[in-house]
Amino acid sequence: MQVSVKPEISYLDKLLKECCKGVSPTVPPEFPLDGKMASWLQQVRDRAGTWVRELAFPTKQDEEWRFSDLSAMMKLNFQAPAPVNLDALNITPFILPEATDSRLVFVNGVFAPKLSLVEGLTDRVFVGNLGQLPPEYQDRIGDYLGQQQGSKEVFTSLNTAGLTDAAVVWLPKNQVVEKPIHLLFIATQTEIPILTQRRCLVVAERNSSATIIEHCVTAEVICPEAPTSRPYLTNTVTEIWVEENAEINHSRVQRDAGTAFHIGKTAIAQAKNSRYTCNAIHLGAKLSRHNLEVSQMGEGTETNLYGLAFIGNEQEADTHSAIILNHPNGVTEQLYKCIVDDKAHSIFNGKVYVSQTAQLTNAAQLNRNLLLSSGGRVDTKPQLEIIADNVQCSHGATVSQLDDDEVFYLQSRGLNEEVSRNLLIDAFAAEIINKLPLPSLQNILKQCVACKV
């Protein structure tokens, strides 16, 4: 008797096999892990691999994935990337002037020390990979890496099952970093579709603060709209711990190739009186999904989540966020905007949970969508679940087209219709782009938006 296996199960097994293939060579030989760290990391990988085998590849029958279509991904057999000549890569187009000497570079998930430069940072702040981690942090990393809520989700578990290295930013107590830290993650393209996994860990200890730019790009194609790009899969996980009275300003920019698939997780734990801001920009990839999860670990937290996606052709951009508030006096603001053109598909599912113990919470959530064509599609689902009775909470969503009266007004001032429409689109996107902390990055993304319109 032959037992048939569901295609989703066999496909997930193949992905797990590729994630775990050749894990040790991906650590640069000049920064090897010591025996204790390597042994601990192997246990973490084994545990995650066990989780993956107990999970299922998501389909539209799953509530959290019912608007997302992964069928195009399942038609491709992604393989682990071959070694890349890192010295031959030209990263000049991706360097940010404000962070020329505070840059950490990973290529296909592999640390590239010769492309990185962190001389602009104080010695007390650690920015590097796992192999460079000082002994005092090696003894504590088990309290942070892989310990966020949601670590057993299928793609997060896949990432952990193949984890060999990570970009690590560790801010000691009372350290205020003025210079932005640029984490540049580069994917390369080959004839064979490759699976690239990236991991990032940020630990901000008490009273510390920093600005972090997480930048996902592809090496050979600067513009995501370029027609010559080849498909690949990026599975990335970022864990951020913001301890008491610490502050992290985090910008996450996704500019993968237009044929790529991008699955991302950002998990944040906020302690008492901490402050966290996320500016998430999604411009590339054929299909992108960002799971943003915030857990409140103490009272008086401040959380600001801002996002922008501009998609066209048949792109699909999916943002799922969850803000779990379990302590009083928390303040959260979330604004996610999407511009949808051609036959693109935007998905937003935002959850805010306010428990009985989270009295005096102030939470606002808004999803605004600008539909530029009749073929575009928007699925939006803002959600509030409130158990507490002394709170101020609001949520909402809008889907609209360009206002004819506004276009007419600009035309009456001497502009033609095309320029008038483009100005309105630019203004819609600029509300989010202007929140980015680096002027150079703002200019780059404004040019990308102008190119897409």
For 195-210, how does the pLDDT look when each residue is reduced to its tens digit (9 = 90+)? Answer: 999 999 999 999 999 9
Above 50 in pLDDT, residue 121? yes
Confidence class for position 5, pLDDT limits 50, 70, 90 = low
Confidence class for position 216, pLDDT limits 50, 70, 90 = very high
3-state SS class at 443: helix
pLDDT of residue 227: 57
What does the pLDDT look like over 386-404, one tens digit per residue?
A: 999 999 999 999 999 999 8
What does the pLDDT look like over 87-110, one tens digit per residue?
A: 778 899 999 999 999 999 999 988
Q: 2-11, 176-185, 388-397: which range is least confident on average?
A: 2-11
Alpha-carbon distance values, 204 to 171, 172, 173, 176, 243 (Å): 5, 7, 8, 10, 6
Q: Yes or no: say if 110 and 146 are a contact pair by the CB < 8 Å rule.
A: no
pLDDT of residue 25: 47
Q: Which long-range contacts (CB under 8 A, 24 or more apart) does 18-25 make?
A: 18/78, 18/79, 18/80, 18/162, 18/195, 19/80, 19/158, 19/159, 19/161, 19/162, 19/195, 19/197, 20/45, 20/49, 20/161, 20/162, 21/80, 22/80, 23/162, 23/164, 24/164, 25/83
Task: Kindly list the strands in the beta sheet with 126-129, ordered across the sheet, starting from the edge strand earlier in the chain.
Answer: 126-129, 167-171, 195-204, 233-242, 261-270, 287-296, 316-325, 345-354, 377-386
- Alpha-carbon distance of 81 to 21, in angstroms, equals 10
Above 90 in pLDDT, residue 222? no
E strands present in 312-344: 316-325, 331-340
- Count of alpha carbons within 13 Å of 363, Cβ hemisphere only? 34
In the numeric block, which tokens belong to residue 198? 């990236």
**Cβ atoms < 10 Å from Cβ of 362:** 14
pLDDT of residue 8: 82
Above 80 in pLDDT, residue 24? no
Q: Yes or no: say if 86 and 114 are a contact pair by the CB < 8 Å rule.
A: yes
Q: Yes or no: say if 232 and 189 are a contact pair by the CB < 8 Å rule.
A: yes
* Mean pLDDT in residue range 239-248: 98
Sorted by sequence, the CB contacts under 8 Å of residue 335 that are 6+ apart come out as: 305, 306, 307, 366, 368, 431, 432
- Alpha-carbon distance of 164 to 145, in angstroms, equals 12
Strand partners, 371: 340
- Alpha-carbon distance of 120 to 211, in angstroms, equals 14
How far from each other are the two terminal CA atoms of the chain, in whole angstroms? 57
pLDDT of residue 21: 79
Q: What share of the chain is helix, strand, coil (3-state, %, to 5)?
A: 25, 35, 40
* Mean pLDDT in residue range 174-199: 94
Name which of 96, 276, 244, 266 is nearest 180 in CA terms: 96
**Cβ atoms < 10 Å from Cβ of 451:** 12
DSSP element (H, E) containing 137:
helix 135-138
pLDDT of residue 3: 41
In the numeric block, which tokens belong to residue 189? 């393209």
Sorted by sequence, the CB contacts under 8 Å of residue 237 that are 6+ apart come out as: 156, 159, 160, 198, 199, 200, 264, 265, 267
- Alpha-carbon distance of 425 to 423, in angstroms, equals 5
Above 70 in pLDDT, residue 411? yes
Reading phi first (left if > 0) and then psi (alpha if -120 to 50, else beta), residue 174 is in left
Q: Yes or no: say if 261 and 222 are a contact pair by the CB < 8 Å rule.
A: no
Confidence class for position 245, pLDDT limits 50, 70, 90 = very high
In the numeric block, which tokens belong to residue 65? 């994935």
Rounded to the nearest integer, the mean pLDDT of the chain is: 92
Could you give the angle at which helices 7-19 and 35-54 cross, rounded to 10 degrees?
Answer: 170
